[in-house]
Amino acid sequence: MQNLIPINLVVGDRTYRIKINSNDEEQVRKMAKKLNDQLSEFRIQYAGKDMQDYLAMVLLSLVTEQQTGKQPENIAESLEQLNRIETLIDRALED
């Protein structure tokens, strides 16, 4: 059985309580920090938008980086982590 632990994860001014594998906690937190850092950059560059706009911009940026080859060496791992986070957030929102 997986060793799931509950954590609170802040993404774009919202807190999500999710359960993750304890081995993934550091990576999930790093990905959340990267996401929030990019959100902050877009907020500065494009004032007056709402959070949904900023989230869409970050996602488009990540996809564009992936398509143009401007991605970190471990993009597959990063994308897998983002997919896990998305699934956990979806589950949390359903509750």
In whole angstroms, give the CA distance from residue 1 to residue 67: 36
Total domain count, the chain: 1
Amino acid at 66: Q
Per-residue pLDDT of the chain (95 residues; tens, 9 = 90+): 468 999 999 988 899 999 999 899 999 999 899 889 988 988 888 887 888 888 888 888 878 877 776 555 566 677 777 777 877 787 777 76
Domain that holds residue 32: 4-94
DSSP, res 43 = H
- 14 half-sphere exposure, CB direction, 13 A CA radius: 10
Amino acid in position 25: E
CA gap 1, 89 in Å, rounded:
21
Asked whether the whole model's pTM tops 0.85, one would answer: no
